Structure 1
Amino acid sequence: MPDEIDRISLTLPSSMIGRLDGIVDDWEYASRSEAIRDSLRDFFTAYEWDAGESIPHHGTIVVAHDHHVNGLADDLQTIQHEMTDIITSVQHIHLSHDACMETLIVNGAKREITELANRLRALSGVQQVKVMIVDE
Structure 2
Amino acid sequence: MSDKDNLVRFGISMPQSLIEQFDRLISLQGYDNRSEAIRDLARKALLTSSSMQPTEMVAGTIVMVYDHDSRDLPITLMDLQHDYHHAIISTMHIHLNHQQCLEILVVRGEVQKLRELQQRIQVLKGVAYAELSVTHVDEHSQSHGHSHHHGHHHSHVKAETD
Q: TM-score, normalised by structure 1?
A: 0.87
AA aligned to 2:66 is H
Unaligned runs of 5+ in 1: none
Aligned residues: 135
1:42 to 39, 44, 49: 44
- 1-structure distance, mates of 2:127, 2:42: 33
* Offset of residue 50 of structure 1: 2.1
Counterpart in the other structure of 1:52 = 53
Counting helix residues as a fraction of each chain, which structure ranks higher? 1
AA aligned to 2:83 is E
- Alignment root-mean-square deviation, CA: 1.9
Query: Any conservation in 1 of the 2:121–2:130 contact (CA below 8 Å)?
Result: yes
Runs of 4+ in 1 over 4 A off after TM superposition: none
Q: What is the CA deviation profile of residues 56-105 of structure 1, one whole-angstrom value per residue up to 9, with x for unaligned ones? A: 12221111111112322111111111101111111100000111011111
Q: What is the CA deviation profile of residues 30-74 of structure 1, one whole-angstrom value per residue up to 9, with x for unaligned ones? A: 22111011111012223x742401011222111111111232211
Does residue 1:108 correspond to 2:109, yes or no?
yes
Are the structure 2 counterparts of residues 20 and 65 from structure 1 closer, same or farther at C-alpha, using a change threshold of 3 Å? same
* Offset of residue 24 of structure 1: 1.9
- 2-structure distance, mates of 1:104, 1:26: 30
Does residue 1:98 correspond to 2:90, yes or no?
no
Q: What is the CA deviation profile of residues 2-31 of structure 1, one whole-angstrom value per residue up to 9, with x for unaligned ones? A: 225414122322424323312221111122
- 1-structure distance, mates of 2:98, 2:65: 13
Counterpart in the other structure of 2:2 = 2
Q: TM-score, normalised by structure 2?
A: 0.74
